[in-house]
Amino acid sequence: MSEQTPAQPQAATENTQSQDGAEQPIRMRTIRSFVLRTGRMTEGQQLAMANVWPRMGLNVENGMLDLTQTFGRAAPVVLEIGFGMGDSLVEMAKAEPEKNYIGIEVHTPGVGRLLNNADEQGLGNIRVFEHDAIEVLDKCIPDGSLSTVQLFFPDPWHKKKHHKRRIVKAEFAQAMRKKLKVGGVFHMATDWENYAEHMMEVMSAAEGYQNAAGEGAYSPQPEWRPVTKFQKRGERLGHGVWDLMFERTE
């Protein structure tokens, strides 16, 4: 979850058929916002993956969700991209039982920890994907269905040559807008000033959004947003914190 030099190729492959019917790999130029690392799982996390996942886990292969069916009720849906170890997501889901929460994370120990904690707290309003959020949004989340998208302390990719890996870019802003309801909010936070400025530039130029704090202004951290693990780390390092909240207007 920390900044590192990408060790993997930046292209994914998939199979397709050539004219003679043989399977041919094609290369897709996908630049990912993460580097997948294997992390050690605690016993509790492993048990949660085995026992809680069947109840709270969602699989991309199952396609587009019917969110009312997924949660067994109709309620505002908050989706968090890259929840890390998930403690702040669990805290929010506990504090707002009237909302439904979907977390997406690629780091398996974090997914295990979130499942473990959500289960211990007896929360019925969280569902989880262990997958690339870009693909989940495209394949599983209905258009105009989300009341909030949360992106807290995304990997900042400090070095200029890695900026292309930053998840916030013009096309991402529009992909989020498509999934939000009109009036829904895309909420970002970062402890990296240069990324905050980049987010502000991208979001201010994005069609169909309005900055909730007024043009060019950062939002105060809402009292309902818990301090996340990476926020604490940033504060230890003397970083500032910037929240940005943009509402879908059309």
Ligand X SMILES: C[S@@+](CC[C@H](N)C(=O)[O-])C[C@H]1O[C@@H](n2cnc3c(N)ncnc32)[C@H](O)[C@@H]1O
Cβ 250 to ligand X shortest distance, Å:
26
42-50's contacts with Cβ under 8 Å and 24+ in sequence apart are: 42/109, 42/112, 42/113, 44/112, 44/113, 44/116, 45/108, 45/109, 45/112, 45/113, 45/115, 45/116, 46/112, 47/116, 48/112, 48/113, 48/115, 48/116, 48/119, 49/108, 49/111, 49/112, 49/115
Q: Which of 66, 87, 119, 155 is catalytic?
A: 155
Cβ 129 to ligand X shortest distance, Å:
8
Q: Write out the residues near ligand X by the rule CB under 6 A.
A: 1, 33-34, 81-84, 104-107, 110, 132-134, 152-155, 167, 228-231
Nearer to ligand X, 2 or 19 (CB): 2
Angstrom distance (rounded) from CA 58 to CA 127: 7
Cβ 194 to ligand X shortest distance, Å:
15
Residue with the shortest CB distance to ligand X: 82
**Shortest CA distance to 198 belongs to which of 208, 210, 207, 188?**
188
Cβ 229 to ligand X shortest distance, Å:
4
155 in active site: yes
For residue 238, give both structure tokens: 């003397």
Residue 244's DSSP bridge partners are 188
Angstrom distance (rounded) from CA 3 to CA 91: 26
Nearer to ligand X, 1 or 202 (CB): 1
115 alpha carbon, distance to own chain's centre: 16
Angstrom distance (rounded) from CA 172 to CA 146: 15
Cβ 225 to ligand X shortest distance, Å:
10
Compute the C-alpha angle 200/205/211, nearest 5°.
55
Angstrom distance (rounded) from CA 40 to CA 38: 7
Nearer to ligand X, 213 or 227 (CB): 227
Nearer to ligand X, 58 or 106 (CB): 106
Nearer to ligand X, 22 or 237 (CB): 237
Residues classed as catalytic: 155
